[in-house]
Every structure is written in structure tokens, then in C-alpha cells.
Chain A
């Protein structure tokens, strides 16, 4: 081979090598079957969860909602633990706070101007590599930012937390998948650290031959993973899963629940159902605006499918968590939307012969779509991970007060949907219609008079009357439920915090929401354009409710900070 040929071959090899390695990694990802290990039980802070769920939690600490190289969290967990060097200079740490992100980017760029493209990508995605974060300029800046407790310290804590979590020793230590020999409330599960360090004394209660077998399997898994041998990895993982399950069969939890939990998180908590809700919203809107029954019936059908899947996800989460899902923001938002769906179905049945039909489903579909979109796209705010309830939440009033309140909140949102449609109609020249008998009254009094006191069971009622009637009906119900929910919360607070009412921001804004609806009722008595005022105040009430759920929860924290 000539000199030129050698140089050309070398250049070619250099070009091909990374892409070949990437291709090999991609093939490895595709061929590895993580199912056995994803369904392993892991003990985390007093809860036995599936490894898939655990990996989802820890990887979100490192990378937020971003996925690394399109890998599943379980794969990234294993790969990060077994091949840490591959992630040293990979952009895996998510910096959420844009102020902090830009300051770090500026500091890194000032230290090394050649980082231009990477820094731009960092500004855009928020992902940066541990190696860059460990540069002196970034470290000095992070130290300074950690002192600002108001604006940047929590973000610095998150960065430092991510850097700790991605360490292989930490990941190994948190992989507490070795069950205790005997069942007991306080018996802790062991991590694989002892096995990785060939220290069988950490598992003294177990049969040494069992531990030796697990150690051998683990070592085989480590080697196979590092050599990218998918068959050996799959075999080792399946063997390891069997060995761990058989180590203490009396202690090991039901594998079916763990498999479902793993599936649930692989399905992103089924938040993709928002797409189906969106389809039903489109069809129901077509049906309502054009008075086109096929679209309305199709919309109702799609809504039922979406609601069925939504119901399945709620029930599945209940089964996995072993408690009704209403203990954190994710659960409150998705369960509230589900309550709205239940009511919509009931109301669609009651109002099936009135001009209101289809609008309850539309409001509910819109509420569920927004709720599931928020859960899908804002996982750092609506954390989908399942954890134990705080001690204060172990009370029957959690189920009574919280469910009543979130149900009322969903009704307020649904009322805002019909109010918004009313305003749109007015914007496009609709007349100032309203329903004289109120919401429930309109349904109850129908058929008793030919005057427009109530909605007719024919299509005589105008769309304005229908929308105003739906708004009022939902508002009346939410008015009662919100009031009762606040009172129930006061009963709980009385025996939990020692005072039924503490002027906590969340309490005050629940009261504020109620005041808006009290104003609505009284303003409706006095004004001529009742429909318009009702719609605006229903929207204002919804804004106050959302302010309570979003701003009060995330900005102005109080006693209800877990809600």
C-alpha cells in the first residue's frame, strides 16, 4: 500500500470508527431485553417499586424529562452504572432554570470559546455534560449561584443532585434489589454493592451459595454489558431476576404488580391519551358549531374511548400505588380531569334529549386534554413518580376533602370552556341570550312552559342559551362542591394542624374562587346582559382557581405545599 493509501485508510477508519461504535451501541440497545430487570422489585424510601419505575425517577433527576440518546430510563440507568466513562462528556445533566443555564453557558464560553456549538445546544436543550460542569469556571459560578437562595440555589442543588445521582457508586447503592431473608416491617433490602465488591458478609442472613450464584450472574452481566453482547446480557438479566425472586420467595412482592408498574412508566403514565381527547374535542366542536349529529356522535364515541383509557390509567395507578391516586400534583390533576369525565357521562345521559347534549363531553374532553398535556409535557412540575404519602395525608379526609375540591376545580374548568365558547359566539355576533331559570333549574323546569324559562327538549333553544345553561349548571354544582370541600378541609385542618382556618394562601384562594362565584350569582341578578357577565365571571373564577393550583403551589408555598 502506498503512503497515500495508508493515510486514506487511516482517515477512513477514523471516520468509520465512531459511527461503527454508535451503530453497535444502537444495535445493542435494540437487542437488549430489559423486561426481566425492569420488573425487579427495588426498595426506595419505604416503598417497593419496580426497577423500571425506580430508573424513571432517578434518570429524571439527572436529565429531567429529556431522554438520553432515545434510550429508555432503565437502559440509561444500567449503562450509566456499568459504563460511566461513556457519559462523562455526554450532555446528560439537565439545567432547568434558564437564568442559571445562560450564566453557566457564558462562563464556559468565556473559558473556552471553541465550545460554541455545544454551548448553543446547551442553551437550547438545557443538557450539559458532567465534564463541562466540572470545569473551574462552571464550578466557581455554581458556588456563587448556590448562595442566592431565592433565585438560583434550588437550581444549583438540582445540578449537584444530578451529578451525585449519575455516579455509578450511587446508582449501584440505590439498586436495592436483594430482599431480606425474613419478612419484617423494618427489614431493609440490600443493594448490589456488596455483590459488586464480592463482599458476601453484607448478606449474612442468606444462604452463601445463593449469594455466590447471584454474584456470578452479576459479574457475567457486567462483562457482557461492557462487551455489548446482547445475548449474554439478556440471559444474565433473566437469570438474575429469577435468582432474586427465588432468594426469599415469602418476602418478594407480587411480580404482576411490578410488571404493570414497569409497563405504566414505559407508557409515560398513559398521558398520551390527551391525543384521543383532542380528537374528540375537534369532533364535538364540529358537532356543536354546525349542529352536525354524525360529528357529535363520533365525538362522543371517541370521548368514551379516551375516557375508558383514562379510567384504566387511574385504576392501574391505584393498583400499583395501592392507594387512590390523589396525593400529589400529577395525581390531583389527572384524577380531577377523570372526575369531570364521570360527571360528563352522567350529564350526557340526563340531558340526552336536550340541546345541551354533547357540551358536557366537550368540556370534559377539553379539561382532560389540558390536564394530560400538562402531565405529559411538564413532568418536572407534575411529577408522575409514585411515592409514599406524607404522614399528614394518612387520613380519611384526604379522600373526602381532596376529591371534592379537585372535582369542583374540574367543574370550574369545564364551566370556563362553555363560558369561553359563549364569549366566542358573542364575538362573532351572537345575540345576548341567556337561560332565565339557571343551570339545573333549566333542566328541571323544561317542559313546564313554552316561554324560554328553561331549555326546550327540542332544538329550539339557541346556542347562547345552551352554553349559558351549561355554564350555570356546572357553576352551581362547583359552587356547592367548592363550599363543601372548603368546609371539609377545615374539619381536617382542625384536627391535623390545630386550626380549621389559618389564612394559608391555598385556603384564601379557594375562598377567593368561591367569592367570584358568589359575585357571579349576585351580578346575574342585577345586570341586563346576564349571559355575558356570567361568561366573564366564570372565566375569572377559572383563572383564580388555576392561580391557586399553579402560582400558589409553585411560587407562594404554604402549609399545602404537598398538594
Chain B
């Protein structure tokens, strides 16, 4: 790099350049000449440009002669091809790049020394080249030692201890769980069990009384469900003296009351001791986007600590399958059959199966495990599955997947479409009938069969219907078929019976008469069980025949599992006997309504379930998800291949799970009969010291957090480091303000945002329960910086100071010499 200053000296060196390439030069001389050639330097820089462009932007190539159409061009990241499978970091540290940089540096050094005389007009070039070499040396130091990862740190965990109040120092049982809404744990002792459930967390709870009134702290509400009842314990970080329980009351206006007011003491059960502790993090997990850093973790069942086995040679971007049967493929996509064969051996003396190698034979970048049905062998149990399409003449259609043996999966559209298996013709006839009630009243001969054609749930003004001349009348409140009870499936019609004495009885009439009973309001309020007589009025007995139930279309298989019939009650809207017609796969059946037809698209009489990963089509992959949805197929001796889902962090237990993370270890039995658990995650490195999160502070713009990123001003983790003297004082780590400790820098990386409950049984979260810090080293950055500064000084010198020097020299030469002429 010699600037734009073409001087006579430069011209001279060019001539030297030409001379030095003579035929008689020695090989070493020729080599020196090559490395002092500006042309060679230009070629190397051009190659560097191309290498950088391909590695960073990828390549663009046409696939159609019409080059002006946007669909004629394909853009691909070459480094992500199967042959390469490289991250940006890996591409720029591959051996061709290293060789190229060595050649460039060598050329720079040799050219500078051999061809640029060290004198004031050339100082600029020398300084620039020196700066570049210093930068390269710094970069070797930096990138040669670089590690980078991230460490999740939870704000608090809970240590739960069961103590004997008479011997408080002795722990009878213990449990722990991370403070995260929805996290649960269980503790058992002496045949009794306690369940703990984090109900809610307020990260900024205001103390209302005491010396610290007005201060804010971290508050956790823990639901304790024990043998003696349920209560909620409120724990305040830093204020154990304010721990108190709340009892659940029957007062709807105040469902919870402070125990001190309700029972006169702060704690409902002082044998349960719960403390909020720091959750020390001792590891950080290497980032796959720097260099691929996958690992498999193993442990024996019942143990908590995982033992790591690093995986070397893993792909990252493409799918690899051993066979097409290993995954559910997406339609139209080529099956990525291209097996891997990576052996993962034990590296730790603590490995639970040190002699057992694990083989990685498949990898999927973006897949989710799904269970699907396939045809089972003739010896498989009968398990009829049907796939139906209901179409109307106006083009609308609806698909159903029905399982005759599964009470939860045998109906569609709230029961309007159903699928059943019958053992005999009598069952089929029974299913053809509309649902009905049969009444018997003492003193009146014969049964009275009444079809259920209206229920009060749909018709609030439903009148009572007389039961013949018995003086009784009834109305149907609700009907529910296929209720799953503890050990059986039953249907129920809930009816109200008005007696001749104008008394109203609510009776739950089950399809199984042994379950039928009268239910009073008092019974409904008593959650512990029903007391009193089963039937309040035994003069009248009722039975319920569900028949076709709520369904208007019912597919029936059996008694031969290959025999299929369709019961069609559309024309009578379920109020009359259903029409029976045969149905077979692929043949549309016109329905009695006239405008609808039904097509059985697939039928499996002995379906078996199979779980496999579903490969997401490329266009449905969210690229921000990176490797979050990846899976590996592992083969362990004595086991069928098994797919392991990727875990961002190898949590030890579900009670340690962070929000938005997964915990799904796989249990395998080895050839020797022992069992191991496996988890697919990232490699980890120990932190120099334990780190705890005191507090997470979200600073917002005016108006507070609105759910939009634009309302956030800053994220700050107040962290503590463990020292021999205990925890340090809290140190803030915020955006653009990292902290150095023990040879690593700690950066604010991710946070825990508020979110509502995500699924049934989940708890809403106010967030701020954990932080994720980036962790990395930075050896050589000062050398890199020095190189940049030196080069900058050289540029200024070469472009602006050198011309000034030359100007002075020329003006000096232009001045008349003493005693001479100019």
C-alpha cells in the first residue's frame, strides 16, 4: 500500500522489479521477487475481495434465459452448501483464507522492506503497512483464542424444606425450583406429598409497611398443595421476615385472605420452609453462529448433573437423513437422504457410559416431532382411523381425521360427524337410533320412550314434557356423550324431573345405569364427594340410550374391521332412524341433504401411531429461529435410532426450566440393561466464578413498556460475582456497558419479556425473571486497535503530509543557491 504518490523512487523500484525476474535468478531470489511484486499484491487483494464477497453475500446465478425477470435468479449462500456447512466465522478462518492472509502479509512485509526506501517521503507507506501487520498480528491473537457464548441467569430459586417443628434444624425432605411462573415441583415424605406451583411473580413489588415501606422488591407467590390443604405463600427477596401465607376462602369477593387475619398466625404450615436464594450460574454455552458447538449430554436416570460429549464435524444448515422413513417429508421436497456418520465418544471420567460410543446418523435443521398414523400389520390390534372430506355443491369443504377407538378423537365439528367401531349388528342398530330416554314409573305398566329433540341449553324457554299420565314431567338440560371418566367412557343426559308434588329433581342419567344419580346444589358445592341417597325419588327411573348422539353423520366400522358403513341422519336432523349406506375409499357418497357429499380419502383398520420429525419446507422456516428447531438422530447400541430435540440450554430438571425454553430428555436402555438419559444441546465452558442476578431493570421511554421495542430505553442486569468473601455488590451490565471479570467480558444479551399464559395450565408472566448475558474473551483487541491507529496515521501522512514535505523540498530547490543561479 504505497498511496497515490508516484515518485521517481517508485519508478525506480518498478524497474528493479522488472530486472529481478531474470531467468538466471535463484529460486529463493525468485520467491523474494514474487513477494515484492506489486502485481502479485494486487492479485492477492483481488482474491481477498472475491473471497469476502462470496463468503458474506453468497452467489447469484441465473436459472432462466430471461435475465430481467426476478424469478430468473437464485441467490445462495455458498458457505452453507453441504460441502462447506460453515458459519461466517468458520468461512473466514478456513485454511484458504488463512493462506491468503499469510501471503498478503508476507507480500506487504517483503515489498516494504525491499522496495520502499525508508525516508521521510515514504514514512506514510511504511506506517500504513506497519499498521496493517500489527492489525493482522492482533487478529491472530484475537481470533485464535476467541470463545463466545451466553449464560442464562435466573433471578431467584426457591429452596423448600420440610422440617419437624419440634426439631427445626433437621430437614425431613427438600425440593427446589426456579422462580418462574408456571414452574412446579413435588416433595414427598412418609407417604405424604406436597405440590408446589409458582402462581405469579411481581418483579417490582412495593413494600407497604415496615421500615422499608415504599421500597420495591421481587415477590413470588407459591401455591402449596399439601395433605392438609392448599395455601399461597408470598416470598419477598431480601425480606424473609415478611414471608406470609394467604388462605383460600369461600368468599367470592375476596378469594384470598392473609393468614394472619384469617387464622391468627402468619404461616399456615410452619413445617414447610421456603427461602428465596440466588441461582448461581457456573457455565456459559458456546454459540453455534460463531463456530458449530453442538454437544450431547448424558446422565443416569435420577441424577441431576449432565456430562457433556462434544460433537465434532456436525453440519448446521442442511438436512441429513439415513433413509426416507426417518422423517415425515414435506410434499414436493426432495428427500435429503444423505446419512451422517459422526462418532461421539466419552471425554469425561464422569461419563455414565464411558465405553459406549454414540453415532450421529441424521440432522434436521428445522423440524418438529409429530405423531401420524400408518397401516399396521395384520397382527396389530384393531384401531380404525378414517380421513373424510365433506363437500358442498358451492365448493366449500371440510376435512376430518377420526379415530374410532379414541373417545377424544372420534368426533368432529362438536360431534356432528363421528366414527365408531361396532362388535355386532345390534350395536349398529342401536347407533342408528336418535338419542332417547326411557322412563319407568312405579304403578304404570310399560316403558315410555322419549326421543331427545330439544335441550334447555339451546332453548332456555323449554317447557316440561309430561311422562305419559304418570303426573311426572321432565325436560332435558344438557346432553354430553363420550365423557371420559376415571376408568370408562360414558354418555350422560342431565334432566330435570318435576314430581306430581311439584318438586323438581335434577337427575344425571348415564348410559351406564349404575352411574345415574340425582344431584342437588349442595352436592355440587361439596367437592369432596356426594353424600345422601343416590336417587331422591325412586318411583321414577330413567335410562339413557345415546344412539347416534349428537352426530348427523356417523361412519361405522365392524364387526369386520374392513367393513364400513355410513349412517346418515341429515334429512331428519337426527330425529329419526339414520339411513345406512356402504362407503369405501375414494368413492364420494351423496348425502341425504342433497347438497353435500362425503368422501372417505383414507382408511386404516389397524392404524399404528408413529412419531417422527416433520421437516419444515424451506419457505416456512423462520430464519431468526436459527438452530432452535434442529434435531439429531443418534444411534446407541441396543436401541433403535432416536431423534433428540435441540435444547438451547441443558436444564437439569423441569423445575429449572426458563420461559420459552424446552426440556425434553430422552431415556434409553443400553445393551447391558442400564439406562441413560440423553439431551442434545451446546458445548459449555465453566465461568471463572459463579454469577447471580440481583435484579433486572427495564428502563423505558415515557409511558412505560407498551410491548413494542420502541418503548424500551435500556436493559440492565444487576449481577453479583462469587468471590472468596462471598457475593460482590451488584454490578450493572447494560447495553453498550459490559463488565470485565475473570478474563471474560459480560454483555447484556437477552431478557425475559412479559407474556400471557401460553397454554392451558400455564401462568401469565410479568417477565424480568431472568437475563441472558453474552460471555466472551477479547485477547488481542488492543493490538488490533493499535494497528488501526497506526495505519490511520500513515494514511494521513501519505496523503497530506508527504505532499507538504515535497512542496517544501521543491520550493527549497527552486530558491537560488548562494553564489549561484536558480
Contacts and interface: CB of A to CB of B under 8 A. Distances in A.
Interface residues of B, number: 80
A502 B89 contact: yes
Given A388-B711, A502-B89, A496 B735 contact: yes
Interface in A492-528: 492, 494-505, 508-509, 511-512, 515-516, 518-519, 521-526
Contact of B56 (A391, A444, A476, A503): A503
Given A185-B700, A438-B5, A487-B789, A480 B799 contact: yes
A556 B796 contact: no
Contact of A445 (B2, B785, B810): B810
18 contacts: A46-B711, A150-B621, A185-B700, A388-B713, A392-B736, A394-B736, A438-B803, A448-B807, A472-B4, A476-B799, A484-B788, A487-B789, A490-B788, A496-B736, A498-B776, A501-B784, A523-B42, A556-B56
Interface stretch (B45-53, B461-469, B654-662, B671-679): B45-53
A511 B714 contact: no
A435 to B, nearest CB: 9
Top 3 nearest A-B pairs by Cβ distance? Answer: A46-B701, A438-B4, A487-B788
Given A476-B4, A476-B799, A479-B795, 14 more contacts: A149-B621, A388-B711, A441-B4, A484-B792, A498-B745, A499-B776, A501-B142, A502-B88, A508-B53, A509-B56, A512-B56, A522-B41, A522-B42, A552-B57
Contact of B774 (A436, A498, A509): A498
B92 interface: yes
B622 to A, nearest CB: 6
Contacts of A150: 618-619, 621
Interface in B755-810: 774-776, 778, 781, 784-785, 788-789, 791-792, 795-796, 799-800, 802-804, 806-807, 810
B539 interface: no
B148 interface: yes
A483 interface: yes
A186 interface: yes
Contact of B814 (A47, A186, A448, A490): A448
A437 interface: yes
Contact of A391 (B5, B139, B715): B715
Contacts of A522: 1-2, 38, 41-42, 45
A46 B356 CA distance: 57
Contacts of B14: 525-526
Count chain B CB atoms within 10 A of each CB in A151, A441, A515 and give the residue with the most. A441
B502 interface: no
B4 to A, nearest CB: 4
A519 B5 contact: no
Contact of B710 (A151, A388, A441, A444): A388
Contact of A525 (B10, B711, B785, B811): B10
A390 interface: yes
A45 B618 contact: no
A494 B781 contact: yes
A190 to B, nearest CB: 10
Contacts of A448: 806-807, 810-811, 814
Contacts of A499: 146, 148, 776, 778
B738 A495 contact: yes
A324 B700 CA distance: 20
A187 B795 CA distance: 52
Given A441-B802, A483-B795, A500-B784, A519 B701 contact: no
B39 interface: yes
B123 interface: no
Contacts of A47: 701-702, 710
A440 B800 contact: yes
A149 B1 contact: no
B704 interface: yes
B788 A151 contact: no
B204 to A, nearest CB: 11
Count chain A CB atoms within 10 A of each CB in B146, B700, B803 and give the residue with the most. B803
A234 interface: no
Given A186-B700, A188-B703, A395-B736, A524 B6 contact: yes
B46 A519 contact: yes
B49 A516 contact: yes
Interface in A454-510: 472, 476-477, 479-480, 483-484, 486-487, 490-492, 494-505, 508-509
Contacts of B775: 498
B807 to A, nearest CB: 5
B2 A508 contact: no
B88 A46 contact: no
A388 B807 contact: no
B51 to A, nearest CB: 10
A149 B5 CA distance: 52
B2 A525 contact: yes
Interface of B is mostly: helix
A48 to B, nearest CB: 7
A391 B702 CA distance: 14
Contacts of A436: 6
B712 interface: yes
A147 interface: yes
A235 B46 CA distance: 69
Contact of B48 (A188, A388, A515): A515
Contact of A521 (B3, B57, B75, B735): B3
Nearest to B808: A448
B807 A444 contact: yes
Contact of B803 (A392, A437, A526): A437
Contacts of B546: none
A189 interface: yes
B55 interface: yes
B378 interface: no
B747 interface: yes
B619 A148 contact: yes
Nearest to A496: B736
B40 to A, nearest CB: 11
Contacts of A492: 736
Interface string B602-641: 0000000000000000111111000000000000000000
Nearest to A520: B4
Interface in A25-61: 43, 45-48
B708 interface: yes
Count chain B CB atoms within 10 A of each CB in A492, A547, A556 and give the residue with the most. A556
Given A147-B619, A440-B799, A512-B53, A46 B814 contact: no
A508 B701 contact: no
A523 B1 CA distance: 10
A448 B814 CA distance: 8
Contacts of A46: 700-704, 706, 710-713
Interface in B718-747: 735-738, 745, 747
A449 interface: yes
A551 interface: yes
B4 A391 contact: no
B709 interface: yes
A487 B785 contact: yes
B459 to A, nearest CB: 32
Given A188-B704, A189-B703, A436-B6, A45 B711 contact: yes
Interface string B121-159: 000000000000000000100100010100000000000
A394 B714 contact: yes
B715 A503 contact: no
B214 to A, nearest CB: 15
A154 B784 CA distance: 40
Contacts of A477: 799
Contacts of B88: 502-504, 508
Nearest to A526: B38
Interface string B80-103: 000000001101100000000000
B49 A186 contact: no
A406 to B, nearest CB: 18
Nearest to B625: A149
A439 interface: yes
A271 to B, nearest CB: 23
